Chains A and B, each alone.
Chain A
Amino acid sequence: MEDKTQELVEKLLENQDTIEKILEKIILLEKTGALDTLADLAAFVKVAQDTLSDEIIKKNSELITNLGLVSAKFTSDNALMLIDAIGDAICRCDKEPEPVGLTGLLKAMNDPDVKFALGFLINMAKALGRALRERA
């Protein structure tokens, strides 16, 4: 027993500087109440460690990765411009829709704004076709 105490004292003396630094930190944590929070956090981390599995990690990482890859394309300058314009269109389009037939459609095609949007859609169709062909 005495040997063990001796060993412990030696270890403490050997690491005096380190132990003092650790003690200072622990005292500060206790005084601020952060130590309780850390203990709670440790319990939370332990629950995660005991309940997670490789399969859960794989599934969730895959989901987040796929969302990330898609979001990379939807945050390009062009995509942001389009999403912003669609947002404006939704906000501004407060008219009650009227039923439109073929004649109405042809008439609408004289509208410069509709013409511009159609031009955009045709460009989009071309780019989409190319992207689909590249993946075929």
Chain B
Amino acid sequence: MKRVVILGGGVAGTLTANYLVPKIKERIKNEEVQITLISDRNFQIYEPGFLYLIFNRLGEGELKRNLGELLDPAVQLVIDRATKIDADNSRVVTENGSYDYDYLVIATGSRVVPEEIPGLKEGGHWFYNLEGATRLREALAKFNGGKIVVSVMGIPHKCPVAPMEVTFILHDFLRRRNLRDKTELLYTYPINKIFTMDPVVELVQPMFDERGIQYKTFFNPIEVDAKNRKVITLEGEEESYDLLIAIPPHRGAQVIIDSGLGDKGGWVPTDKYTLRVDGYDNMYALGDATNLPVSKAGSVAHFQAEVVAENLAAEIEGIEPTAMFNGKAFCFIETGWEEATYIWFDYFTPPRPVLPSKFVHFVKMAYNKAYWLTARGLL
């Protein structure tokens, strides 16, 4: 019997499992193949929802679903924390056991490490995990005017457009609460422009100007002075704040670092087209876990899962795998409380944002609820 082990119960892991099952269902039924998904929690969180949770537009309960509800019933679900990938012996070791595999899919995602910027935990907020988002929701509800700094403190980070989105929504949130006149809003980005992609900069920068949103580039925070409420940068600048919304540095999963499989950020070196882990024929990696020069976004994991599932199915059937990932990403960009645009791009095509509209915002709001159909492999 061939054993496929999928490590991670986020978008990447769940979708790979759900796409793979229908392709090899006869073999699973005849017990020739077993698919095991290992996740350290029995639920999945829809992380893009944090952007709405902080403004109290979505609640915690709306962002969670049981993995049992999302996974194809033919997948064996194991709730356990993986502690080591023993790649030489094709085995995943967990806190409570071990799992041998013929094929391993690494879908271990990414995590924020605010502790890497001294003072950030004490002096700042973030919305890139549930705990941070609920804390920021409270701070925003209490905010009465002053200076808000939205600061990207490391690249790569999840959902690259989210810092711009949160800035736009903040602008409208403050207007709706009659606080915009009393608030200075500053957005900072580490490189020489406000975003990595020029077509997005061309759309967003004039919109920032129209709204009186200030921005600073080449701004690389190295420390937060929590007591005096100041951000200190590598470039020698100091920026004061009343409320700091940081996008903290991100790292790969601990199990990747502990297994010696990651680069210095904990990202798994992966082939950008085949999604095979460099140096291993029986390992694929996808989603946030990889070192690929693509966005760390759910849509990327989604498009990659199609490729990994197709290639795994081919290998199981004894056919040469030929599916290739072309770098596709799709991102909605909220440009206010109720208007949005979107971009899609791949390795060969630059993004071309459409004019922001209420309809695109509605589609995004609908997708916030309908995402679970994507996780199930239906949308």
A interface residue numbers (CB < 8 A to B): 45, 49, 52, 54, 57-58, 60-62, 64-65, 68-69, 72-73, 76-77, 131, 134-135
> Does B378 lie within 8 Å of A68, measured CB to CB?
yes
> Does B66 lie within 8 Å of A135, measured CB to CB?
yes
Measured CA separation A45–B378 after assembly (Å): 26
Size bracket, chain B contacts:
20 to 34
Taking a contact as CB atoms closer than 8 A, the residue among B25, B365, B369 that contacts A65 in the complex is B369
**Residues of A with C-beta under 8 A to B57:** 54
**Least distance between A65 CB and chain B CB atoms (Å):** 5
Taking a contact as CB atoms closer than 8 A, the residue among B73, B77, B366, B378 that contacts A61 in the complex is B366
> Does B73 lie within 8 Å of A57, measured CB to CB?
no
**Residues of A with C-beta under 8 A to B70:** 69
With A57-B366, A134-B68, A135-B66 as given contacts, are A72 and B359 in contact (CB-CB < 8 Å)?
no
Instruction: Name the 7 nearest CB pairs between A and B, nearest first.
Output: A61-B369, A61-B366, A57-B365, A62-B369, A68-B373, A61-B370, A65-B370
**Residues of B with C-beta under 8 A to A54:** 57, 338, 362, 365
How does the 8 Å CB contact mask read for B56-68 relative to A, with 1 for contact and 0 for none? 0100000000101
Measured CA separation A54–B377 after assembly (Å): 25
Measured CA separation A69–B379 after assembly (Å): 11
How does the 8 Å CB contact mask read for B33-62 relative to A, with 1 for contact and 0 for none? 000000000000000000000000100000
With A61-B370, A62-B369, A64-B370 as given contacts, are A72 and B68 in contact (CB-CB < 8 Å)?
no
**Least distance between A46 CB and chain B CB atoms (Å):** 10
Tell me whether B376 is interfacial, beta carbon within 8 Å: yes
**Least distance between B26 CB and chain A CB atoms (Å):** 10
Tell me whether B95 is interfacial, beta carbon within 8 Å: no
Tell me whether B69 is interfacial, beta carbon within 8 Å: yes
With A64-B370, A76-B73 as given contacts, are A49 and B359 in contact (CB-CB < 8 Å)?
yes
Q: A49-B358, A61-B370 known; 15 other A-B pairs, CB under 8 Å?
A: A49-B359, A54-B338, A54-B362, A54-B365, A60-B366, A61-B367, A64-B370, A65-B372, A68-B373, A68-B376, A69-B372, A69-B373, A73-B73, A135-B66, A135-B68
